[in-house]
Each structure stands twice: as structure tokens, then as C-alpha cells.
Amino acid sequence: MDAIRDESPWKRLEFRDPKRAQVLCQTLRRVCDQVGRPVSVMHVCGTHEQSIARFGLRSLLPPNLNVFMGPGCPVCVTDMPEVDEAVALALRGVTVATFGDMFRVPGSVLSLAEAKAQGADVRVVYSPWDALRLAQSTDREVVFFATGFETTAVATAAVILSHPPPNFSVLSAHKYIPPVMEIIAEMPDTRVQGFLAAGHAATITGWKIFERFVERHRIPVVVGGFEPLDILAALVRLVELIRDGDLRVVNAYPRCVTPEGNRQAQRLLWEVFETVGGTWRGIAHIPNGNLRIRAKYAGVDARRRYDIDVSDLLKGAPPRLTQECICGDIMAGIASPYDCRLFGKECTPQNPVGACMVSSEGTCKIWYEYGGHVVVEDLEARS
Amino acid sequence: MCLGVPGKVVEVNGLVAVVDFWGTRRKVRLETVDQPVQPGDYVLVHVGFAIRRIPEEEIEETLAFYDFVVRSAENDLMSGDVRGEIDAARED
């Protein structure tokens, strides 16, 4: 492993293996030239975007290659009514356990953080297991506000299957990624010619699940890891597939992803959850995009246990700047944070308007921290 | 977070493993991993649950980048998420 050069003036270009990065960039440029027209590809993973932004990858990409982030931030796509359900429960005396990012996401009226400031018992947890342990340590009713994609839903499923105490239940706002790729591919404004799929999610699902998508939409998919070198390597494969009109799924992350994935985790997931249609915040209704607890586990389903009434909460809801928030367009890949009037002004990490500015995986938060396009000098110049 | 973080298994007690993440020891649940896990193995962990036993030949490559993120001592979103995943596994 190459040593990191601390004295490097271009802090972001700290590849473990600068030579390999250079070769990949050159190959990518060559392959893009061979395509001969602009190429647009979408990824759906907050960690991919962090890596791209942190390492200034967009400045290394050939000018005719556009890589943008779709709805890959689970917190960002959790719809306001779902937040309202959690807030309503908290305000009526239930202890609500939530992930840190979700804590500050605005609902229609309040975020969970604001509800807590008003006296509600809201606790930040890092794992569904934490929420379970919380329920085991108290007589209070505890609801775990379960957000995240299928990778996280596996953990929630495991907790539900571990014979939780009677005071524990789950409000599921989990989402399932594969259906949203279909919706994005079908949107009239979409110019997506290829998808870069998230490596760790595919550790669970395997890569074969993307085959049906490729067949139906005639768009190639490459599964990639999130390290900058992995991203570059995956992009090379993806542009090659686009160049050749080669419609298939390629696994560019074999050290973590297999064809069938983790069958044990899948078993747990589908034992507890089923897919159901739902609205992804700012985007659209996604058929089969939400994960709901099956009737068999009604006892731990907060929606069945409590008659959640948000009407009192919504009475007299103050107007929010949400009209001008374009998180939806950003997540659908048809706008960038720089297109948003509120970005960096009324909407900042300290005062977020939209969910994209709250979560560490939100495009706006990431661009606010790292910048969207970092201008760095050629790799050649520094080697 | 759609992020898993690798750690080394130190101890296994039924469905709970003690895993070492760069010197920090945490408890990790094993019911979500599809292979038997024993001390000395490396596992990829997400929100306190093991999602993959990392094959021997891939350990070095997998660790190298995380090593870099953890040791670069930057306090940014990515290192925050990596630390968050380590913290998601329980201490007790």
C-alpha cells in the first residue's frame, strides 16, 4: 500500500494507489471518447456520493461523462407523513427511538428533535438492537422508528425475530431500492444510460436481482464498491457496457458481492417484511418501494398497535419553505444542489429545509461539506 | 447509512461476537451472516449486525481503504459514518 503523502497540496487526491488511479482515469477517458456522445450514469448510494465528492472524482472524469446521485439516501426519501407518525407517537407519550440523522428531519410540522425539545421522550440510537435493549430496560412503551434501506431492514427483522418484550414495537419506514431504479428509468426526463449499484446493499441481495431490471429497461448495471478506486473501476466497466450496447449486470465488487447474496439475511428480511407501494419524499409513488411488517408480526407493528392520529399535529401547521425545496428533483437526478435557490442560504446543515441537507448521505449535505465539483490539477501533473 | 465496516472477530458466544475495530471492541450480532464465524475471522458489520464473513484473500484489500479513512483523522461525513457504524455495535 502506497504511503499517504501528508505534504500533498491536493488533499483530496489521496488515492491509496495513485498509479492505478491514473491508469483508470486514462482508460475511462478513452472509453468515453469511444462512445462518442455524452454519457449520463446514476448511482443510488450516499456513501458513493461521499467518496466521489470527498476525493474530487468528478474533476477527474472526462467532460462528457456525468455521474450523478439518485435517491440513495434513505433518510432523504422518508416521507413527511412517516415522520409525522413518529412525532405523533412521541407527543402522546410513547418513547420513540430513532437514528441520529432522522432525528432532525423536518416533518410537516415538527422534527423528532423539536418534539423532544417540547418534552417528548425521543432517543437517538445507532442500531435496532439498541432500541430493543432500551425496551428491555424500561416499562415504557418503546417504538423504534425504523428507517433505512433493505440492508438496515435486515437488522430490524433480526430484532423482531428475537422475541422482543411486549412493550417494544416498530414503525417501519424502511425502503427497498430496486423498484426505484425502475421508476427513475421510466421517468420522461431521465437521461440515465447506466446504473452504478451500491456494493454493500448488494452484499445482502446479490447482483442477480438486477438482471430483470436490465432486461426490461435495456440499461446496464455495474455493482461497485465505494472506495474511489472501486468507483473508477466500476465506471470504466459501465461505460464499456454502454459503448458496446452490452446489456447486462457486471459485478465490479467481487470481494463483497456474490450472485445470490446473503441468503440468510434475505430469509430474515422476507420473513418479517413485505413490499408495499409508498411515496418516496419528493419523488413519486414507488410501487413495492416500501417495506411493511407482515400481518404475522402484527404484535410488533406500531401501526397496528397504535391508532396513530396525526390530525391534531397537522392543525395549524406553519408554512414551511418546502415549496421551494427541490430535493425531489435532486434525488431524481434532474437538478443539482447548485440549482436550488435555498442551498447554502436558507437551507444549511444547521437550518435544514429539506431532508437532503440533514443526512450524511444527502446530496446537499455532501456538496455543502465537500463541494460538488472540486477543481484539482491533472493527475499527470503531480506524479 | 448504506455502509458496512470490517472488524476482526475476537470471541464468539452463540449469536453474539466480540469484534475488534481498530482497537475498539464491540458486540456484533451474528444471526444475519450466512456462514459460521469464528475468532480470527473478519466480518463486515452494519448497524451492529454482521452481514458478511470476509474471505481470507479479500481481507487486506478490504481493510486498506477503511484503514486510510480511520487513520486520516479527518472529521468529515465519511469518517463520521465509519465511526458511526463502529459505535452502532454495542459496548455491553
Do the bridges between strand B49-54 and strand B42-46 make them parallel or antiparallel, or are there none, so unpaired?
antiparallel
What's the rounded mean pLDDT across residues B7-21?
Answer: 96
Q: Which 8-state DSSP code applies to residue A351?
A: S
Please tell me if residue B1 touches chain A, with a CB cutoff of 8 Å.
yes
Distances (CA, A) of A53 to A9, A24, A62: 17, 18, 16
pLDDT band at residue A159, thresholds of 50, 70 and 90? very high
pLDDT at A303 over 80: yes
Output B90 or B5, whichever has higher pLDDT. Answer: B5
- For residue range A43-61, list pLDDT tens digits in order: 999 889 988 888 888 888 9
**CA end-to-end span of chain A, whole Å?**
16
pLDDT at A305 over 90: yes
Distances (CA, A) of A24 to A96, A193, A229: 47, 20, 8
Looking at residue A373, its pLDDT comes to 62
Residues in chain B: 92
- For residue range A22-35, list pLDDT tens digits in order: 899 999 999 999 99
The 3-state DSSP class for residue A108 equals coil
Q: Which residue among A4, A129, A149 sits closest to B29, beta carbon to beta carbon?
A: A129
Output A189 or A382, whichever has higher pLDDT. Answer: A189
Looking at residue A22, its pLDDT comes to 87
Contact A241, A34 (CB under 8 A): no
Distance of alpha carbon B21 from alpha carbon A38, whole angstroms: 43
Q: Which 8-state DSSP code applies to residue A67?
A: E
CA-closest candidate to residue B88, choices B44, B31, B55: B44
Looking at residue A231, its pLDDT comes to 94
Looking at residue A55, its pLDDT comes to 83
CA-closest candidate to residue A207, choices A251, A256, A267, A176: A251
% of residues, chain A, pLDDT over 90: 60
> E strands, A160-234, where?
168-172, 194-198, 221-224
A34-58 exposure pattern, b = at least 16 Cβ within 10 A, e = fewer: ebeeebbbbbbbbbbbbbbbbbbbb
Looking at residue A1, its pLDDT comes to 35
- For residue range B32-76, list pLDDT tens digits in order: 999 999 999 999 999 999 999 999 988 988 888 888 787 776 778
Distances (CA, A) of A202 to A187, A197, A225, A328, B86: 24, 8, 10, 25, 20
Distances (CA, A) of A359 to A111, A323, B2, B51, B92: 13, 20, 12, 23, 28
Distance of alpha carbon B85 from alpha carbon A318, whole angstroms: 36
Looking at residue A282, its pLDDT comes to 75
Q: What is the pTM of this model?
A: 0.89
Residue of B nearest to A101 (CA): B1
- For residue range A95-131, list pLDDT tens digits in order: 999 999 899 988 888 999 999 999 999 999 999 999 9
Contacts across the A-B interface (CB distance below 8 Å): 130
Residue with cell 501533473: A381
pLDDT at A5 over 90: no
pLDDT band at residue A13, thresholds of 50, 70 and 90? very low
Please tell me if residue A383 touches chain B, with a CB cutoff of 8 Å.
no
Chain A closest-CA separation from residue B40 CA (Å): 18
Distance of alpha carbon B51 from alpha carbon B36, whole angstroms: 12
- For residue range A334-343, list pLDDT tens digits in order: 888 999 999 9
pLDDT at A382 over 50: no
Q: For the sheet containing A65-69, what is the strand order?
A: A65-69, A39-43, A194-198, A221-224, A249-251
pLDDT band at residue A62, thresholds of 50, 70 and 90? very high
pLDDT band at residue A316, thresholds of 50, 70 and 90? low
pLDDT at A300 over 90: yes
- Residues near A251 by Cβ (< 8 Å), separated by ≥ 6? A202, A207, A222, A223, A257, A258, A259
Give the helix/strand (H/E) hosting A155: helix A150-160
pLDDT at A7 over 50: no
Looking at residue A227, its pLDDT comes to 87
- For residue range A124-157, list pLDDT tens digits in order: 999 999 999 999 999 999 999 999 999 999 999 9
pLDDT at A378 over 50: no
Distance of alpha carbon A162 from alpha carbon A144, whole angstroms: 15
> Nearest 5°: phi and psi at A318?
-70, 150
Residue of B nearest to A129 (CA): B48
Contact B49 A226 (CB under 8 A): no
Looking at residue B42, its pLDDT comes to 96
Which of A75, A262, A359 is best to mutate for the B interface (most B CBs within 10 A)? A262
Q: Which residue among B48, B54, B61 sits closest to A129, beta carbon to beta carbon?
A: B48
Q: Which 8-state DSSP code applies to residue A378?
A: -
Please tell me if residue A363 touches chain B, with a CB cutoff of 8 Å.
no
Looking at residue A14, its pLDDT comes to 55
Q: Which residue among A155, A200, A255 sits closest to B2, beta carbon to beta carbon?
A: A200
Looking at residue A168, its pLDDT comes to 98
Q: Which domains are present in chain B?
A: 5-90 (2.30.30.140)
